[in-house]
Structure 1
């Protein structure tokens, strides 16, 4: 496990993704929050390759793209 790799935790993945589905709504804010939770869940998913820095860049891009 590298410094950017979090321990695999299927329960945490499921919880974060369930919460993401619960908060997802019609507003841009709820869509952003759901997307962020889903991306954070990827940190604990052994099938995903990501890092906190990648998630930050991805969310920043989504946020600024939607602001235009």
Structure 2
């Protein structure tokens, strides 16, 4: 049993009051690290998707 393909979805949310995961300044650096680890474990058939849920500054407030 098993599968040949998979999706790993990560919700990224980082604000002053919630600073986890430590070591990652943005969702792109987290995605790069997860993809690197997936390749090291021979999980190339796993699609990693990171959704950045961090609140963005509104255009009208810039």
Q: TM-score range by the shorter chain?
A: 0.3 to 0.5
TM-score (ref. length: structure 2)? 0.36
Query: Bigger radius of gyration, 1 or 2?
Result: 2
Higher strand share: 2
Higher helix share: 1
TM-score (ref. length: structure 1)? 0.33
Q: Greater relative contact order: 1 or 2 (C-alpha under 8 angstroms, separation 6 or more)?
A: 2
